């Protein structure tokens, strides 16, 4: 029976209006309490991550707005296309958020190219690699800083795609996320524009691989479909097939996979896997990395 039908039935009965009012109030209270859409979430997270897709269908970039739920201090990562980012920022600020800095993963235009425009609306420091437009602070490798009260950030230098590439590990005690720019993608990695295969091996398989396995990966682009199309040619394993199935039925993969998952389904993080080694026809680790990258480039 719906609430309305029940109230109508009560209204037909000859009872005192005072009792009726109390009855309806109690019923309403119970109804609203029981309806999950009115219920508050049981656990409130300290770190809130909002993905802002940019240039969907071409670059498929992501900017990320990360907010400390307690203080509402927030940072915007790689806000490269202001026309797509500013509405989200305005909404967040109207809701009480304070933008405290812009963070860049590297200097490329589709990551740091929005800085000058963003500064017109938000006069905040820019944290990023040395070649990023208007950068005010380049953290050293391993340097930490905080956002609000709850979020601890650690800068991880990962030179190769660009020499100024920095990944950022965000931790709020319960949750860990790493923003990887164009160094690590879900199921793949960036091109070696300014670096060597040795540097990408170090970035992926030492610096990022040493993060806790449960660290969620937030890359700079949505390239999962193309990456797994290559990955499955190299390695037809359960984890790669699983990623392929995910990519077939999901448009976005950011934050859905962890460093632990990448070690399983990302062929660039499996340079010791005999099947991967065999695919490249190489024997030296660095040559395996190089051959994988070249094979992906020519796909
Ligand atoms: Zn790039």
- Centroid of ligand 1 to alpha carbon of 82 (angstroms): 17
- Centroid of ligand 1 to alpha carbon of 111 (angstroms): 7
- Centroid of ligand 1 to alpha carbon of 184 (angstroms): 11
What are the C-alpha distances in Å from 43 to residues 46, 181, 195? 10, 29, 43
Mean pLDDT, residues 250-276: 97
What are the C-alpha distances in Å from 127 to residues 143, 152, 249? 12, 15, 36
- Centroid of ligand 1 to alpha carbon of 63 (angstroms): 13
Mean pLDDT, residues 57-70: 96
- Centroid of ligand 1 to alpha carbon of 72 (angstroms): 29
- The pLDDT, as a whole number, for residue 45 is 63
**Is 108 designated active site?**
yes
- The pLDDT, as a whole number, for residue 35 is 41
What are the C-alpha distances in Å from 195 to residues 164, 188, 190, 223, 271? 10, 16, 11, 21, 18
Name the pTM for this structure.
0.84
- The pLDDT, as a whole number, for residue 173 is 85
134 CB burial (10 A radius; 0-12, 13-18, 19+):
middle
- Contact (CB, 8 A) for 190 and 173: no
Percent over 90 (pLDDT), the chain? 84
The distance from CA 277 to its chain's CA centroid, rounded to whole angstroms, is 30
- The pLDDT, as a whole number, for residue 174 is 79
Backbone conformation region of residue 150, classed left if phi is above 0, alpha if psi is from -120 to 50, else beta: alpha
**Is 172 designated active site?**
no
What's the pLDDT tens digit per position in 125-156? 999 999 999 999 999 999 999 999 999 999 99
**Is 110 designated active site?**
yes
Mean pLDDT, residues 24-42: 44
Q: Give me the catalytic one of 48, 108, 157, 265.
A: 108
DSSP 267: G
DSSP 38: G
Gap between the Cα atoms of 44 and 22, Å rounded: 34
> How do beta strands 166-171 and 176-181 pair?
antiparallel
């Amino acid at each position: 029976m719906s609430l309305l039908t029940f109230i109508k039935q009560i209204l037909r009965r000859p009872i005192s209006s005072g009792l009726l009012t109390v009855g309806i109030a109690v019923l309403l209270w119970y109804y609203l309490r029981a309806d999950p859409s009115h219920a508050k979430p049981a656990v409130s997270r300290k770190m809130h991550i909002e993905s802002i897709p940019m240039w969907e269908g071409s670059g498929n970039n992501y900017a990320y707005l990360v907010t400390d739920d307690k203080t509402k201090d927030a940072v915007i990562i790689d806000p490269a296309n202001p026309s797509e980012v500013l509405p989200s920022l305005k909404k967040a600020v109207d809701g009480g958020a304070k933008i405290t800095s812009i963070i860049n993963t590297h200097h490329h235009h589709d990551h740091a190219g929005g800085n000058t425009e963003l500064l017109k609306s938000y006069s905040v420091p820019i944290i990023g690699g040395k070649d990023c437009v208007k950068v005010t602070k380049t953290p050293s490798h391993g340097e930490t800083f905080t956002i609000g009260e709850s979020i601890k950030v650690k800068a991880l230098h990962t030179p190769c795609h660009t020499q100024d590439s920095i990944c950022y590990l965000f931790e709020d005690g319960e949750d860990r996320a790493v923003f990887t720019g164009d160094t690590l993608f879900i199921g793949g990695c960036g091109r070696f524009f300014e670096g060597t295969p040795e540097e990408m091996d170090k970035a992926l398989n030492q610096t990022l691989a040493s993060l806790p396995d449960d660290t969620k990966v937030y890359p700079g682009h949505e390239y999962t479909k193309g990456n797994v199309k290559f990955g499955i040619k190299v390695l037809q394993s359960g984890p790669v097939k699983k990623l392929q199935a995910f990519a077939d039925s999901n448009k976005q993969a950011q934050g859905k996979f962890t460093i632990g998952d990448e070690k399983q389904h990302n062929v660039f993080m499996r340079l010791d896997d005999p099947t991967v080694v065999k695919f490249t026809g190489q024997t030296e680790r660095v040559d395996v990395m190089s051959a994988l990258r070249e094979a992906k480039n020519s796909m």
